[in-house]
Amino acid sequence: MKKTINVVGAVFIRDGKILAAQRSEKMSLPLFWEFPGGKIEQGESPVEALKRELREELNVLAEVGEHVETTVYEYDFGAVALRTYYCTLLAGEPELTEHAEIRWLAPSELFSVEWAPADVPAVEKINEKLR
């Protein structure tokens, strides 16, 4: 059986737009788009992991709010269990540290980028909510 990788993702909405991050060419799933976040480390809660990852990846402080969706997707390297949460920026402006690009997408633009498969159910749910 493949190992399960537990990850968290942040859904930031500002002025009706959603923050999306493009994975760099060096990452697994290169150039796919995702919600910023990362792996949950041993002993961390999903909320703690998400706050830490957002500090590391985007140089922002964020408040983690309502749970959006949990999706399990089987990739060739393992199963990814992705929990997404609505988040609010408390301090800082998202900066590129690991990703190739970050964009604020209007709901009508959400499907103009190629999302990583694990992120798609959350994207669809958010799109429904914002329409």
Residue type present at position 47: V
- In the DSSP assignment, the letter for residue 98 is S
> How far is it, in rounded angstroms, from Cα 29 to Cα 65?
27
Tens digits of pLDDT across the chain (131 residues) = 679 999 999 999 999 999 999 999 998 889 999 999 999 999 999 999 999 999 999 999 999 999 999 999 999 889 999 999 999 999 999 999 989 999 999 999 999 999 999 999 999 999 998 87
In sequence order, the 6+-apart residues with CB closer than 8 A to the CB of 129 are: none
* Residue bearing tokens 């590129």: 96
Q: Is 40 in a helix, a strand, or coil?
A: coil
> How far is it, in rounded angstroms, from Cα 83 to Cα 10?
9
Tell me the pTM.
0.93
DSSP class per residue in 35-48? -SEEEPPTT--HHH
Contact 83, 9 (CB under 8 A): yes
> How far is it, in rounded angstroms, from Cα 74 to Cα 96?
28
